[in-house]
Structure 1
């Protein structure tokens, strides 16, 4: 299968690219910094393009079977538009070239609901801080979701929880309803992105991907995400 992956030089994008190549797919990895992309291979093409550049996106999308977007930004107080404007460019390019399958990363923070069994301190202290600090990001991700749903494509929106670096793919949960857990391994997210895109799972649905094994503590996530230690890019 011919896949194009936007945000390919981010942590999740690299993992998704690596997995797709290992499974025998052809991949175009789209990144603003092609010289810094660490992967190589006969089935890999690295394309230098900005998702905010409609013409560059159109060139990158042409000739593929499916599009995966792992584009993400750190928490910020400034307005965010990369999700909505960038994805609008992707949707337009896909429509122009007759490409149907789109899988993109959003966030569980877009439409937060308490999950059964969540700890009191997490629900009442940590979650409100993370949601407040990430509001510009979540607001734009919500706009992106609206664009995707209106685009007349075979789409799947994936909402991960708090991202962390796992070492292996686990038996993660994919759910169309709020599932207990506030953590998602990037390895699991990358696996879900490839599975959804290649196997055409959950077409026309918004799903959560939740890791339940080997997750970090609430405190570790709070320090990393709320205090900007270690970054927050997908």
Structure 2
């Protein structure tokens, strides 16, 4: 299939492009900084575009079979609009180009239910601290994005991972339309799920949790990474 990937130069986006091309799909990797993107891979084309630029999004979306959004924004105090504005431009471009399949990423926090199997400290203190204080602007815009995607007429699927971490290969991860136990999702697993959903019938018009169950980091590692960037 012909896939276009937004957020391709991020850690998840790079995994998506690598896995998709390795599986034999033709990929257009969209990034604001094409010079920083590793090129030379067969079946890969790199295009410069900003997801906040509607006409540019229209240009790079044309001629593809499915769209993958792996957009990601770090936590911060300033208002975030990348997710909602970006998916507004993407869905409009898809409508104009007659493209049906859309797969994108938000967060397991948006299930709005307590983390199953977790203790009181995690459920009532740690997760609310990240959701409502540290990452509030990011999650607010993810919610806006999800509403835009939900209201569209496309065959969309939204993947909601937990705390992201890096591994060398895809594991036997879990996928479900409800919040799963566990605190982590490997980027390799998330990328695999994104590509699989995009190139198959998958789970249209569904929010899916994707969760890694083996080789996950500790809670201390998560806190250090999310709160202090280490």
Identify the TM-score tier after normalising by the shorter chain. Answer: over 0.9
**Post-superposition shift, 1:199?**
1.2
SS at match of 1:209: strand
Distance 2:39 2:211 in 1: 27
- CA offsets 1:204-227 (integer angstroms, 9 cap, x no match): 101111111111111100110022
Equivalent residue for 1:232? none
Equivalent residue for 2:45? 45
Equivalent residue for 2:21? 21
Distance 2:126 2:207 in 1: 25
Q: Is the 8 A contact 1:30 1:46 kept in 2?
A: yes
**Post-superposition shift, 1:123?**
1.9
**Post-superposition shift, 1:129?**
1.8
Equivalent residue for 1:97? 97
Equivalent residue for 1:137? 138
Q: Which moved more, 1:170-179 or 1:39-48?
A: 39-48
1:1-234 correspondence runs (5 A)? 1-131=1-131, 132-229=133-230
SS at match of 1:221: helix
SS at match of 2:103: strand
**Post-superposition shift, 1:128?**
2.0
| Aligned pairs, number | 229
TM-score, normalisation: structure 2: 0.97
Q: Is the 8 A contact 1:129 1:226 kept in 2?
A: no
Q: Is the 8 A contact 1:110 1:139 kept in 2?
A: no
Q: Is the 8 A contact 1:18 1:39 kept in 2?
A: no
Structure 2, gaps ≥5 residues long = none
Distance 1:166 1:200 in 2: 27
SS at match of 1:46: strand
**Post-superposition shift, 1:109?**
2.1
Q: Is the 8 A contact 2:111 2:179 kept in 1?
A: no
SS at match of 1:195: helix
- CA offsets 1:98-118 (integer angstroms, 9 cap, x no match): 000000011112233213311
**Post-superposition shift, 1:190?**
0.3
Distance 1:14 1:42 in 2: 14
Structure 1, gaps ≥5 residues long = 230-234
Distance 2:181 2:225 in 1: 21
Q: Is the 8 A contact 1:12 1:189 kept in 2?
A: yes
TM-score, normalisation: structure 1: 0.95
**Structure 1 vs Structure 2 CA RMSD:** 1.0
Q: Runs ≥4 in structure 1, deviation > 3 angstroms? A: none
Distance 1:173 1:209 in 2: 6
